[in-house]
Amino acid sequence: MRTIDTAILTERVREMCRPLAMELPSDVKTCLMIARSRESGDTAVSVLGDILDNAELADRESIPMCQDTGAAVVFLEVGLDVHFDSDPYAAINEGVRQGYEKYYLRKSIVEDPLRRVNTGDNTPAFIHTELVPGDKVKIALMAKGFGSENMSRLKMLMPADGREGVRDFVLETVSLAGPNACPPFMVGVGIGGTFDQVALAAKRSLLRTLDSTHEDPYYAEFEAELLRDINELGVGPQGFGGRTTALAVTIEALPTHIAGLPVAVNIQCHAIRHQEEII
């Protein structure tokens, strides 16, 4: 059994907040540069160039790449041989609190959805925990802006709707999002599970790198099909038209009930922000 001082969690989460808000991951930059080279319209080329320039400026000047520095979403993998010396959730929230204060990030969380009083420190974080073999802890921290989160959707399809029904729902969701979610998007798709699990699967899939493919060839092919069809919609960068509406589609499929086919689409804007640490 390995005992972990939760002060380490606080420190790691705090220091993840700077690159989270100010550094566009290398795989995202590469996809944006490739997308710009493939565009034929002046507007689309210009917009993609502006996005890349904004990312470079944010990193150089240590300022957030977007004013919406997001809700802190944490995917925590805890080894079965790990023991924490105190509450790990409290430690993670303290890390978010310190990080958002230290790096002057916008505090966007309200303590009640209707009375709308800001907590003042961007907590609580939204933490999802999985137990795994081993004696390590993996922290994946995502900054989820709500321009894109608000455009996400879930639908309980019937089994007979099949793959075509999933495809139609994904395309409909992206079309409805249009410019409101700051394209080009990363489109996370959850399929299967239950009402609650499918939304989480869609969000968890957004942790994948843009150059990855699904390990199952069937779903890898479906991801490629959806990406092609989404980009044929013509929404384009920031909604001004073009060939690049999405940079990637990532699918996570789960076992489900014989009578159901849940599907969720969690859209992420071009500021695809997440960091990972292993302790």
Does 13 reside within a domain? yes
Give the residue-averaged pLDDT of 85-105. 98
Is residue 110 located within the same domain as residue 196? no
The parent domain of residue 88 ranges over: 2-20+65-144
Contacts of 165 (CB under 8 A, 6+ apart): 157, 158, 261, 263
Does 30 reside within a domain? no
Looking at the chain, the whole-number percentage of residues with pLDDT higher than 90 is 100
Does 131 reside within a domain? yes
What's the pLDDT tens digit per position in 5-64? 999 999 999 999 999 999 999 999 999 999 999 999 999 999 999 999 999 999 999 999
Is residue 166 located within the same domain as residue 139? no
Is residue 138 located within the same domain as residue 158? no
Does 12 reside within a domain? yes
Cβ proximity of 51 and 35 under 8 Å: no
Is residue 7 located within the same domain as residue 106? yes
Is residue 270 located within the same domain as residue 173? yes
Give the residue-averaged pLDDT of 103-127. 98
What's the pLDDT tens digit per position in 112-121? 999 999 999 9
Burial-class residue 232 by CB neighbours within 10 Å (0-12, 13-18, 19+): exposed
Give the residue-averaged pLDDT of 87-93. 98
Is residue 123 located within the same domain as residue 160? no
pLDDT of residue 118: 98
Does 164 reside within a domain? yes
What's the pLDDT tens digit per position in 224-243? 999 999 999 999 999 999 99
Is residue 186 located within the same domain as residue 133? no
Domain count, the chain: 2
Quote the tokens at residue 236.
């384009």
Does 130 reside within a domain? yes
Query: Which residue's entry shows tokens 């959730």?
Result: 89
Is residue 163 located within the same domain as residue 73? no
Is residue 218 located within the same domain as residue 193? yes
pLDDT of residue 149: 97
Does 36 reside within a domain? no
Instruction: Residue 227: name the closest of 34, 26, 45, 25 by CA.
Output: 34
Give the residue-averaged pLDDT of 88-103. 98
Give the residue-averaged pLDDT of 83-99. 98
Cβ proximity of 184 and 29 under 8 Å: no
pLDDT of residue 98: 98
Is residue 173 located within the same domain as residue 273? yes
Does 165 reside within a domain? yes
Q: Is the pTM of this model over 0.85?
A: yes
Phi, psi for residue 264 in degrees, rounded to 5 = -130, 145
pLDDT of residue 202: 98
Is residue 156 located within the same domain as residue 83? no
pLDDT of residue 67: 94
Average pLDDT, rounded, for the chain: 97
Q: How confident is the model at residue 155 (pLDDT cuts 50, 70, 90)?
A: very high
Is residue 188 located within the same domain as residue 213? yes
The last residue of a domain, from among 109, 144, 179: 144
User: Rounded to a whole number, what is the distance in angstroms from the first to the last CA of the chain?
Assistant: 14
CA distances from 179 to 49, 147, 218, 267 (A): 17, 10, 30, 12
